[in-house]
Each structure stands twice: as C-alpha cells, then as structure tokens.
C-alpha cells in the first residue's frame, strides 16, 4: 500500500463528492416528481398519453444507464441547438457542461423507475380509502392529496430508498461522458502511478459510506411515514 499516495489522493476524491451529490439530488428531485406525474397519467388512463408514457417508461427501464448517458450526451446538444434556433437564439452548445447531460439521462431513468414505484404504491392503497374520501364529499384530487398519497408514500418509501442508492451508484457511469465525479477522479489520480488498488479502496469506502448514510435516512423516514401502521399492527 502506498500510503503517501492515499494521503494525497483522498482529499481530492472526497472533493468530488459534491458533484456526485449534485447529480443525485437534482436527478432524484426532478425524476421523482416526473415519476409521480407519469404514474397519475397512467392511472387516469388518458388516451394516447398513457400509452406514450408506458412506452417511454419501458424504454428507460430496459436500456442500461451507460447507454442512456451516451445517448443523452450525443442527442441533447442537437436538441438544445435546434430549440435555440427555433426561438431565435444561437446557443453555444459546446459551452454546456457534461454534467447537464448526465443529469438529464439519470433524471429520466429515475422518472421511469419511480413511476412504477408510485403506481404500485397507489394501487396498494385500499380501494375503500377512495370510497371513504368520496363519501365525505372530497373530489378526486383532494382524495389523492389528503388520503391516498400519504398512505402510498409509506409503501413507496423503501423502494424509493432503493432507487436512491441505485442512483448514487449510477452516477459513477457519468465518468464515461466526462464528468469528474468520484470514480473518474479516483481513476485519473491512479493512472500516472498505477496506484489502482489504493484509489479504488478509497472510492469503495466513500460509496459504502454514502450508501449507508442515505440508507439510514430513508429507513428513518420510512418509520416516520409508517407510524399510522405501527398502531394498527399493535392492535391486531
């Protein structure tokens, strides 16, 4: 073990954590909101839209993240460029940082997975809960917002936690479109001196710590959301 290398490289790898977390937080935030939207569209069975969303989700769930990243990296510049032309602006596409493309791919990937999570979580809420909501005069939106979604969230939370961990791990693939996140930084640092084992042990530790910390946070949130069930279980 080359401890001198480790001492020197560790702060730099740790320094890449913010860019990893940036991708994680932005992709999860936008992706999950989109996912909930997709789930509601599919539930509402809106002509054409529901089918289009279903096809989109199927594609996003089937294609490996690394390929999604590549596609995003090569297709997004053109989309942005032509959109700019359409509204009359000449956008300098090459000035857009790679992390944007990575986030775009990860966001859509998360949206697809999250929509399935929300769909099954909503389906798992007892139909009687809807009926009870209507019986006291709520409309569909109110029922969803006040009664169904709070219960569905408790069911969804463990799966969302799983998605979140998956997302943290997937950000390592952003390396391939040139984002200097944790894995890329470690790899580049290790190259000149061939300190692979040192670099990757440190990288592993960092990812394990991140996974552990967020896992605990999701567990805590899950228990918080499930408090109404704990009472129920105690009564049975």
Partner 1 sequence: MNYSYDFASIPDYMIKIMTAFPVTLEILLISLLISLLLGAAVAAGSLGRKPVIVAISRGYISFMRGIPTLVLIFLLYLGLPQILQGCGVNISSWNKMFFIIATLGLNTSANMAEMMRAAYLAVDKGQLEAAYSVGMKGTTAFRRIIYPQAFGIAIPMLGNNIINLFKETSLAFTVGVIDILGKARAITSASYGANKLETYIATGIIFWIVCVALEQGSKYLEGVYTKGRKQAAS
68 near partner 1 (CB under 8 A): yes
CA–CA distance, 34 with 5 (Å, rounded to integer): 43
Which residues neighbour 1 within 8 Å (Cβ) at sequence distance 6 or greater?
197, 198
Interatomic CA distance for residues 70 and 169, integer angstroms: 17
Binding string to partner 1 for residues 207 to 226, with x set by CB under 8 A, is what?
A: xx-xxx--------------
**Strands (DSSP E) found in 81-228:** none
Task: State whether residue 47 is helix, strand or coil.
Answer: coil
Tell me if 43 sits within 8 A of 122, measured CB to CB. yes
Contact between 116 and partner 1 by CB under 8 A: the answer reads no
Residues in CB range of 151: below 8 A, 6 or more apart: 125, 129, 228
What track of x and - describes contact with partner 1 for positions 186 through 205 (by CB under 8 A)?
-x--x---x-xx--xx-xx-
Site mask for partner 1 (CB under 8 A), range 11-50, x = bound: ----------------------------------------
155 binding partner 1? (CB under 8 A): no
Q: Residue 90: CA atoms inside 13 Å, Cβ hemisphere, count?
A: 0
Residue 170 within binding range of partner 1, rule CB under 8 A: yes
Q: Which residues contact 97 (CB under 8 A, 6 or more apart)?
A: none
The gap from C-alpha 3 to its chain's centroid, in whole angstroms, comes to 35
Of 18, 29, 46, 64, the one binding partner 1 (CB under 8 A) is: 64
CB of 222 to partner 1, least distance (A): 16
Closest distance to partner 1 from the beta carbon of 66 (Å): 6
Can you spell out the DSSP letters for 205-230?
Answer: HHHHHHHHHHHHHHHHHHHHHTHHHH
Candidates 29-37, 125-133, 163-171, 217-225: pick the segment binding partner 1 (CB under 8 A). 163-171
Which CB, 49 or 74, lies closer to partner 1?
74
Of positions 18, 61, 126, 219, contacts partner 1 by CB under 8 A: 61
Q: CB 138 → partner 1: shortest distance, Å?
A: 28
Compare residues 149 and 182 and give the one whose CB is closer to partner 1: 182
Q: Rounded CA gap, 100 and 122, in Å? A: 32
Give the binding site for partner 1 (CB under 8 A). 58-59, 61-68, 70-71, 74-75, 77-78, 81-82, 93-94, 165, 168-173, 175, 183, 187, 190, 194, 196-197, 200-201, 203-204, 207-208, 210-212
């Amino acid at each position: 073990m080359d401890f001198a290398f480790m001492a020197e490289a560790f702060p730099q790898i740790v320094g890449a954590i913010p860019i990893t977390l940036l991708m994680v937080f932005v992709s999860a935030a936008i992706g999950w909101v989109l996912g909930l939207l997709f789930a509601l569209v599919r539930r509402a069975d809106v002509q054409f839209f529901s089918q289009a969303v279903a096809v989109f989700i199927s594609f996003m769930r089937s294609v490996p993240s690394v390929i999604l990243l590549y596609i995003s990296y090569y297709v997004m510049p053109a989309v942005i460029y032509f959109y700019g032309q359409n509204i009359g602006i000449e956008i300098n596409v090459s000035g857009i940082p790679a992390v944007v493309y990575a986030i775009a791919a990860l966001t859509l990937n998360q949206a697809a997975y999250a929509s399935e999570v929300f769909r099954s979580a909503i389906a798992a809420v007892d139909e009687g809960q809807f009926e009870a909501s209507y019986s006291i005069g709520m409309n569909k939106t109110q029922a969803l917002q006040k009664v169904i979604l709070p219960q569905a969230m408790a069911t969804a939370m463990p799966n969302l936690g799983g998605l979140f961990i998956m997302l943290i791990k997937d950000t390592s693939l952003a390396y391939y479109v040139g984002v200097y996140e944790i894995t890329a930084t470690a790899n580049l640092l290790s190259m000149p001196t061939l300190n692979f084992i040192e670099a990757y042990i440190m990288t592993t530790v960092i990812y394990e710590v991140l996974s552990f910390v967020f896992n605990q946070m999701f567990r805590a949130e899950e228990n918080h959301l499930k408090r109404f069930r704990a009472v129920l279980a105690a009564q049975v």
